[in-house]
Amino acid sequence: MRILNEGCCRKHYLAKCHEALRTGLIAMFDARCFGKGYPGYLFHPFVQSYPHLVRHVFPDGTPDLVLADWHYPKSREPFAYKGMAALDTRKAFILGDYWESSESLIEPFVEQVLRHHVDLIFSYFPQPLDLWKESQIAGRFRWLPPCFDPHIFNDWQMPKCYDIGFLAFGTVDRHRCYPERHAMHNQLLACKQWRYLWAEHPGWKWFKREHPLVGVNFSKAINSCRLFVTTSGIFHNPQPKYFEALASKTVLLADEPVGAAALGLKDGVNYVKISEETLLDKVNYYLAHPDECEAIAEAGYGLAMSRHQCFARALDFRSLVYDRVV
C-alpha cells in the first residue's frame, strides 16, 4: 500500500497520537511524508497543488491514497494546497476534534468534503459516524481510534512511588469539557493518606526539549503509579490517554467511553470503571488488593500492546481503506 502523508511533523507536539499513526504507517507500508519537520522537506515553488505534490513525492508512480491534514473549521480552506479534487487517487483526512465541526457546522462540513471529492474520513472517535449518519457523506466515515508508539509508551519498570496519579487537562482548573476531572482531583487532594501524583497541564505546545511530563517521561510518570485516573469528558470520547495509560502498565481508572466494548475495555479485567461518586471507594479497594491490581495492569498492558499500538493500528487502517471489517 502506497500512502502520501501530507502535513507537518508532530513528533514534538504534546499529543503523541498523531505522529504515532504515521510511525505505524511508515513501518508497515510504503508511506511517505511531506511537510515541515520531515527529513528532506524544503519549500518547493513548483509544489503549488496536490497533483504537483504527488509527482514530487511519488515520481515512481501514483500512491493508493493521499492522507492530508484537515484544517477546517480553523481555516476557510481545509487543505494546504489546491487541486485535491483533481487527484486521480483516493483522498482522505483524519478527523480529531469533531465537535468543532458539528452542531451549526454539520452542513458546511459536508459541503467541504463534497467540494474536494474526499473519499474517506478517518475519525478518532465513533460519535461522528452517528452525527453525520443522515448526510450525503455518511458512508465515507471510518472509526480509527487513537494509537500510541510503544517506543514512547511502555512498561519502563519504574518503582511504584505513587499510589495514584491524575495528569490531565482540566484537573487544576475547571474546564467546560471536563468538569468531572476538576471534581475528582479535589477529592484526591483531600485524601492525605495516599501518595498522589498530579501537576499542572504542560499546555498544548511543541516540546523540542525534554520535559518531565511529555513523551517517554510522561509514560514513566504513569508507570510509577499503582493506579492512574483519566476521563472521557462531556462527549464521552475514548481519549488517547486511555491507551497510553494501559501501555504504561498501570491500573487505569476511567469512566466508560463510547465504544468501550469494541475497544476491548472490560471493567475489572483490564481497567476499572469509575465515576465521580465511586472514585474514592474504588481507589481504597484496589490499593488494598495488590494482587488484583497486578492482574488488571497486566491485562490492560496486553490489550494495549496487542490492539492499540501504532503498528497494529496501521493494519486497521489498511482494512478500513479497503472496506474490510477490522
Domains of the chain: 2-147+310-321 (3.40.50.2000), 162-308 (3.40.50.2000)
For residues 182-211, average pLDDT: 97
Quick one: CA dihedral 322, 237, 246, 201, positive or negative?
positive
Query: In angstroms, rounded to a whole number, what is the distance separating the alpha carbons of residues 36 and 42?
Result: 8
Which of 13-17, 76-80, 221-225 bottoms out in mean pLDDT, i.e. has the lowest? 76-80
- The grid cell for 266 is 472490560
Which of 102-106, 111-115, 291-295 bottoms out in mean pLDDT, i.e. has the lowest? 102-106
106 pLDDT higher than 90: no
pTM of the model: 0.95
For residues 128-137, average pLDDT: 95
Report the run of H or E that residue 258 belongs to, with start and end: none
326 band by pLDDT with thresholds 50, 70 and 90: very low
44 band by pLDDT with thresholds 50, 70 and 90: low
Query: Contacts for 180-187 with beta carbons within 8 Å, 24 or more apart?
Result: 180/231, 180/233, 180/255, 180/275, 180/276, 181/231, 181/233, 183/276, 184/229, 184/231, 184/276, 184/279, 187/276, 187/279, 187/280
| pLDDT 10s digits, 229-244 | 999 999 999 999 999 9
For residues 164-187, average pLDDT: 96
Backbone angles phi, psi at 24, to 5 degrees: -65, -45
320 pLDDT higher than 90: yes
105 pLDDT higher than 90: no
Q: What is the mean pLDDT of the chain?
A: 95
142 compared with 102, residue with greater pLDDT:
142
Give CA separation, 34 vs 47, 67, 89, 136, 302, in Å: 11, 11, 17, 31, 34
pLDDT for residue 223: 98
300 pLDDT higher than 50: yes
Give CA separation, 51 vs 46, 48, 62, 222, in Å: 11, 9, 10, 44
Report the run of H or E that residue 254 belongs to, with start and end: strand 251-254
